[in-house]
């Protein structure tokens, strides 16, 4: 495997190791430089009182997809979300949703990435844009990040 491929697989392991992801049945696939995809099965456990997925789900999946797309370009440091703009375009009830993240700009200290969330029919249900900043936390020091 190339150095980039090793980094991508290590980012996937990092995602899997995060305690928050024990609450969400989701899967990360880093698909290339500046690209990441998260799949998630929406079940009744994540519904709000009106019977559709709570906005927390939208934010989590969109932020994670954009974050990991951006972190493909930072091989030494963990990035931090500094802002995230989210647009809800359609409610979702049950089924698989996919968040696709794409790096937009920045390679040194600040990164911008966008993400799009679609339902099983391929219809957009949300989109977002995030700004991520290089932290002081080395990726190599995080227990889930193993090359």
Give the model confidence (pLDDT) of 33-88 as tens digits. 999 999 999 999 999 999 999 999 999 999 999 999 999 999 999 999 999 999 99
Of the chain, the end-to-end C-alpha distance in Å amounts to 11
Pairing of strands 124-138, 95-105: unpaired
Q: Is 108 helix (H, G, I), strand (E, B) or coil?
A: coil
CATH topology of domain 3-141: Thiol Ester Dehydrase; Chain A (3.10.129)
- For the chain, the domains span 3-141
With a CB cutoff of 8 Å and minimum separation 6, the contacts of 23 are none
Give the model confidence (pLDDT) of 87-141 as tens digits. 999 999 899 999 999 999 999 999 999 999 999 999 999 999 999 999 999 999 9
The pTM of the full predicted model, rounded to 2 decimals, is 0.95
Report the C-alpha gap between 11 and 5 in whole angstroms.
Answer: 10
Identify whether the C-beta of residue 123 lies closer than 8 Å to the C-beta of residue 112: no
């Amino acid at each position: 495997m190339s150095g980039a491929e090793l980094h991508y697989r290590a980012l996937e392991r990092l995602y899997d190791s995060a305690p928050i992801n024990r609450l969400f049945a989701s899967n990360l696939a880093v698909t290339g430089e500046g690209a990441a995809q998260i799949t998630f099965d929406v079940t009744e456990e994540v519904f709000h009182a009106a019977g559709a997925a709570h906005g927390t789900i939208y934010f989590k999946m969109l932020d994670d997809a954009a974050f990991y797309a951006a972190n493909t370009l930072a091989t030494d440091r963990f990035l931090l979300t500094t802002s995230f703009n989210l647009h809800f375009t359609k409610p979702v009830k049950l089924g698989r949703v996919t968040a696709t993240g794409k790096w937009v700009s920045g390679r040194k200290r600040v990164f911008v990435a966008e993400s799009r969330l679609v339902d099983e029919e391929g219809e957009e249900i949300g989109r977002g844009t995030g700004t991520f900043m290089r932290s002081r936390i080395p990726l190599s020091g995080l227990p889930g990040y193993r090359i």
